[in-house]
Structure 1
Amino acid sequence: MSIAGILPDTEITDLAARGAINCDLPFVDTQVQPASLDLRLGHTAYRLRASFLPGRSRTVQDVLGSGLVMHELDLTGGAVLETGCVYLVPLMETLALNGDVSAAMNPKSSTGRIDVFTRVIADQATTFDHAPAGYTGPLYVEISPRTFSILARPGDRLVQARFRRGLRQATREITVSVDLEGFDGKVGYRARRHSGLIDLAKIGQHDPRDFWEEIDVRQGRMILDPGEFYILASREPVIIPLDEAAEMAPIAPEIGEFRAHYAGFFDPGFGVAEAGGTGGRAVLEVRGRDVPFFLEHSQAAARLVYEPMAARPARPYGMQGSNYQAQKLKLAKYFSG
């Protein structure tokens, strides 16, 4: 009898072997994570007039053919996706799900930390970031850089998919708060406006001083300015046991004064001592909204919603060269230092 829950790396590989995940190219190293699969950009980006959902009766291509596309970009040699614009890129991976296995998608941690907003769209979709059980067809990613323009190429990985057998079942919830007492004399980073380009192929090669302003310790409090983007960290260490995965969700959507994350999925093994994760914090990707907002140390910022794994992963998070295991306050992998 198959066990319900989030599928681990071994079962994701098995899905591909059975044709439930398809691609003309084989998976690359680290593409299969402990409980998720990185999805790769294809060769074309469509510059859109607006975001959309196709609805139950249409495919994505039906909508693209209705006048929504402004122009096309060839990503083969690299193309700039500019801030304030909306793009749609077909993903290399397609799905042919069967049984009761569905897929949910979210931005990778490195994507959220550079303020690139992404959502995955499937044919006949009425919601973003979801492919229901039985779905057969392509996947597309909507990309909207908010602060930094990016240089993208085929094969770049901005989003990931996790596969769930059975219905979603939350086992517990934990509230995380913001740390404003500081790490090595700073509490966070504020994105600089009108910065240069982030090349997604250049890992660890961008000078953070060109893109970020450090926020010094200021007696455990700060003011979030409307429209500005910040990197902060949780006060509490986060631990994701090997038999669970977790997703970060807003603590109180009705407040409306700041958004606490873009990328919110935690693989099993994050923060686990045996996997080298002692003391790992949740990094909070925070955007101020509407009016200035007074933020204090220990203020609740988000919820971690835990789900059971269908089985433990063969390689827990941190066992395959993770960029963020045991992190405190940490920028995306694209930056040096």
Structure 2
Amino acid sequence: MAAALGQPAPYWFHTLRDRDAIAAWRPGSAPAVVPARDVATPITALTELAADEPDGSPVAEVCWYLAREVRRRDHTLVTRQIAELRKDAAGGGDGAHLTLGAVPASLLRPTPPEPTETVRRAGWLSIIERRDVLAYRVADFAQHWDGGRDWHTGAVTDLYPVSCTTAQEWAKRLTPAADDQPPTVLEKGLLRHADDADVLLHDPITSLPVLHHSPGGRNARFYTYSLQRLPTRSPLAAVVLSGSGYTCWIRTQDGTLWLAPEREGSGIGFGYSGNGCHILARLIDVLLDDISASAARSSDPAAPRGLFELLRDTPCDRTTTYTRAQLLAARTN
């Protein structure tokens, strides 16, 4: 290629592959100056959404921060790659046969500090309640970026009312979702699982969408989101463990039934000694003291051994209820 061009062949690093700059290149051209950006993490939706927000908006603060952080990371990466290429060329390596097709534009504004957790959660709460295409795109970015770490929702879970009386109790409070407008970000996420006969519902306690899959059929079940924190001050009164070793319900002293908080990718379970049981034991341990504590992580400190063993030895082929007194006794055993 160098022989055909009469000079070293042009090379564009991944984050510098600007279509117009590549098309305009000619032998002897100086490297184009283009923004460093990875096509796998486009920031256009972030900047467009932020541009329409009022001053002081947590949505804008979250979106601007992420857009600038992506640019900073891409710029840092390609700057290091260019330095390595030049070092290789100076040592007579393969880099000596290449010339840069583009270099990154300078970052003229430093990336601000990351917004506080309160601001991040407020921003995402507003975004995922929206019903417009731009919000969908920003939400998709978040899922690829960090899995929606700062959303108030966690894992998507499925519930089987045919085999779980607790799910039947929970289902009685569900109401029809609005059908005269586009879905919210969260509703759109559930609708990926939907068939034509499925029904979209609403949980008035958590304000979360619920998808009723195959209503009336043998395989009828519900899809919904768990929360990362329970929005209540009522203390934990009981834990209900139901079906197949993975569905955990929390009943608070005011009688409200909640799905146990769960993070995406950090499954909870019982009836075995694996990681899911350890995570559930950690969760129950903290909820006994603080009902609004966040969903447990696998990296959290281990729960008391007695509490873990109680969950490990719980049968997973039936529904088991543990009262607060029983859980506290196990924790101190």
TM-score by length of 1: 0.23
Instruction: Choose between structure 1 and 2: higher helix proportion.
Output: 2
Higher strand share: 1
Q: Which has the higher contact order (CA 8 A, sep 6+)?
A: 1
